[in-house]
Amino acid sequence: MALMIVRRLGVFLLTVWVASLVVFFLLSVLPGDPARAQLGLDATEDQVQALREQLGVDRPLPVQYMEWVTGFFTGDMGISYASRAPVAPQVLDALQVSLLLVAGGILVALVIALPLGLLAAVRQNKPDGTLFSAVSQLGISVPNFLAGLLLIGVFAVTLSWFPSGGWAPPAAGADFLRHIALPALALGLVNGAILARYTRAAVLEVMREDFMRTARAKGMKPGTALLRHGLRNAMVPLITVTSIEFANLIIGAVVIETVFVVPGLGSNLVRAVGNRDLIMVQSIVMCVVVLVLLVNLLVDLLRPVIDPRLRSAT
């Protein structure tokens, strides 16, 4: 078990390192000079060269990489090319907002997916079960920005229950909840529909297992058998799927943050790309990569806790 944790951690660190190489060098070889982009076409070559030196982009790439990567993990991500302000505080603020939004999205997705998927499975061949399946099928086919616009149209514009955009920090209490409600809902609805399909499949699969029949043969009622033996077994595949969905949600957040004008990683990323703020883009992308890898690592460590069969296997 200890060996497995060490091994997983090793793989995690290795992946982060490779990812940092890819993120840095791929973005560095993109055409476009950050100094020229900022000074405009009218600036002289000397002015551009001076800014290059000031930004440090004239040095060899490996040197820039070492500086960037050590900085990234020590909290000094450098100075934004666009705003000339330190990158780290901006990224950390945006990260906090995005994490809250994604957490809200996951919560919404799970609240929708688990009961819906369970009901669709248990009442498989009955009208309501089929209806649940159809609803989730419909949910999958709605892109999340459209869901966002529809939610704004109904709940912000027509009913005026929620603000149509913007953000308030958690310290703001009720105001925070009012601001996060619609974007989290938009993010969670679609992923909830996808997750509901997986839940239904996982529960159906478990219901066909021999040990469920054994549970019935012991004298358990179908519902009890499902709760006591079925759900935990269905969790095993669902946890893996949820972690994959997490990556989807972070990416989905890029669009949703733009729609709802939420100052998260996504909207910052879009702005940084527009400004050719290379160092900002690198830092945000790296942040997202580390986040996704971290969630995968946690799930890898969590699965053996739930499934004893994975403990002995390496």
Q: Which residues bind another protein (CB under 8 A)?
A: 3, 125, 209-211, 213-222, 228-229, 232-233, 236, 306-309, 312
Based on CB atoms, which residue is closest to another protein, 54 or 214? 214
**C-alpha to C-alpha distance for 103 and 82, rounded to whole angstroms:** 30
If DSSP codes are grouped into helix, strand and coil, which group holds residue 86?
strand
Min separation Cβ 228 and another protein, Å: 8
> Which residue stretches of 208-230 are H helix?
210-217, 222-225
**C-alpha to C-alpha distance for 157 and 95, rounded to whole angstroms:** 28
The candidate with the shortest Cα–Cα distance to 243, out of 165, 299, 163, 182, is 299
Min separation Cβ 8 and another protein, Å: 16
Min separation Cβ 119 and another protein, Å: 16
- Structural contact between residues 167 and 97, judged by C-beta atoms closer than 8 angstroms: yes
**C-alpha to C-alpha distance for 195 and 110, rounded to whole angstroms:** 7
Cβ partners under 8 Å of residue 15, min gap 6: 293
Q: Any idea what DSSP says for residue 171?
A: G
Min separation Cβ 4 and another protein, Å: 11
Min separation Cβ 197 and another protein, Å: 21
Based on CB atoms, which residue is closest to another protein, 219 or 274? 219
Based on CB atoms, which residue is closest to another protein, 76 or 209? 209
Min separation Cβ 308 and another protein, Å: 4
Based on CB atoms, which residue is closest to another protein, 32 or 308? 308
280-290 as b/e: b if 16+ CB within 10 A: bbbbbbbbbbb
Based on CB atoms, which residue is closest to another protein, 25 or 211? 211
Based on CB atoms, which residue is closest to another protein, 173 or 222? 222
